[in-house]
Amino acid sequence: MIVLKLGGSVITDKERPETLDGGSLEQATDAVANALADEKLVVVHGGGSFGHHNASEHGVSTTEGTHDAAALLEIHGAMKTLNQFVLSRLLERDVEAVPVHPFSTAHRDADGTLELPTGQLETMLEEGFVPVLHGDVIAHAGAGATIVSGDELVAELARRLEADRIGLCSTVPGVLDADDAVIDRIRAYEDVASVLGASDATDVTGGMAAKVRALLALEAEASIFGLEGLASFLDGENPGTTIE
Ligand code: IP8
């Protein structure tokens, strides 16, 4: 079972609001379509130029919530629009992709813990579907609703679905060292603290340090790679950086 994140910056044009990077999205969905044989796959995508600007306009983040339903619908609506684009590109390639919107399924407890039920995902996978989730807004006890990032969903899904492999398709070819060379393997955060910054604990929205920390905490191995590594990852190889 594979959990794959398609980074928002990979599939959208970050310079222009609500604009796809059509070529990259096609390349990514081609790789998914070519790889799928008997493998169970869950796809999660980020927001890129969708969702983030609406969220910052309304002051909503992973910790700052809102009770303004209109603001939530705007953020959620932007993410659903992107989700629809991803789904349609997958369907065009005969991937049986179906949407799962975290707003309707997940929530946070008062301490911020993400509660993400997976019964429907397990049934979808058993029935041969490819669930496609996305970063979203979710109800948050005591705070209205806050953002859940794609990275956070990936980590939680990997845990709950006991994923065998986790892949993060990013705009960089892996975790880079001080000379911009791809680091092959990371076994502990100390291995990379000097390049990623030792005091990055506040970065909860998806900086590389936060990604590495979250992935190190998981049972399964994870890979961070660029779009050019996606096909080989789905083929069972370890492109980019492997996080043990
Ligand atoms: O791009 C963002 O998800 P991410 C979700 O994975 C939003 O951080 C802004 C609604």
Mean pLDDT (the chain) is: 93
**Residue 8: both structure tokens together:** 């928002």
Q: Binding residue per annotation — 229?
A: no
- The answer to whether the CB of 195 falls within 8 A of the CB of 176 is yes
Q: Is the CB of 5 under 6 A from ligand 1?
A: no
Q: Is the CB of 102 under 6 A from ligand 1?
A: no
Helices (H) and strands (E) in the chain — how many of each?
Answer: 10, 12
pLDDT, tens digit (0-9, with 9 covering 90-100), for 89-127:
999 999 999 999 999 999 999 999 999 999 999 999 999
Tell how far the Cα of 52 is from the centroid of ligand 1, in angstroms.
Answer: 6
Ligand 1 atom at minimal distance to the Cα of residue 148: 5
How many domains, in total, are found in the chain? 1
pLDDT of residue 154: 97
Measured CA to CA, the distance from residue 59 to residue 146 in angstroms comes to 10
pLDDT of residue 210: 84
SS3 readout for 6-47: ECHHHHECCCCCCCECHHHHHHHHHHHHHHCCCCCEEEEECC
CA distances from 190 to 125, 209, 214, 216, 241 (A): 36, 11, 14, 11, 15
pLDDT, tens digit (0-9, with 9 covering 90-100), for 128-185:
999 999 999 999 999 999 999 999 999 999 999 999 999 999 999 999 998 999 999 9
Report which protein residue has its CA nearest ligand 1's atom 5.
135
CATH code for the domain in which residue 197 is found: 3.40.1160.10
Tell how far the Cα of 111 is from the centroid of ligand 1, in angstroms.
Answer: 20
Q: Is the CB of 65 under 6 A from ligand 1?
A: no
Compute the half-sphere exposure of residue 33: CA atoms within 13 Å on the CB side of its CA.
Answer: 17
Asked if residue 205 has pLDDT above 80, the reply is no
pLDDT: which is higher, 34 or 206: 34
pLDDT of residue 133: 98
- The answer to whether the CB of 9 falls within 8 A of the CB of 46 is yes
Per-residue pLDDT band for 209 (boundaries 50, 70, 90) equals confident
Measured CA to CA, the distance from residue 216 to residue 204 in angstroms comes to 15
Q: What is the dihedral of CA 104, 49, 147, 85, to 10 degrees?
A: 20
Q: How far does Cα 125 stand from its chain's mean position? A: 18
pLDDT, tens digit (0-9, with 9 covering 90-100), for 38-47:
789 999 999 9
Share of the chain above pLDDT 70, in %: 96
Domain coverage including residue 60: 2-243
Per-residue pLDDT band for 206 (boundaries 50, 70, 90) equals low
Q: Binding residue per annotation — 22?
A: no
Q: Is the CB of 135 under 6 A from ligand 1?
A: yes
Q: Binding residue per annotation — 207?
A: yes
pLDDT of residue 204: 42
Mutate to test the pocket of ligand 1, among 79, 86, 152 (most ligand atoms within 8 A of CB): 79
- The answer to whether the CB of 221 falls within 8 A of the CB of 244 is yes
The whole-number average pLDDT for the span 8-21 is 93
pLDDT of residue 198: 54
Asked casually if ipTM beats, i.e. exceeds, 0.95, the reply is yes
Mutate to test the pocket of ligand 1, among 73, 205, 208, 224 (most ligand atoms within 8 A of CB): 205
- Between strands 41-45 and 2-6, the pairing is parallel
- Between strands 165-170 and 2-6, the pairing is parallel
pLDDT of residue 207: 79
Q: Which residues contact 179 (CB under 8 A, 6 or more apart)?
A: none
- Which residue type does 115 have? E
Per-residue pLDDT band for 75 (boundaries 50, 70, 90) equals very high
pLDDT of residue 201: 43
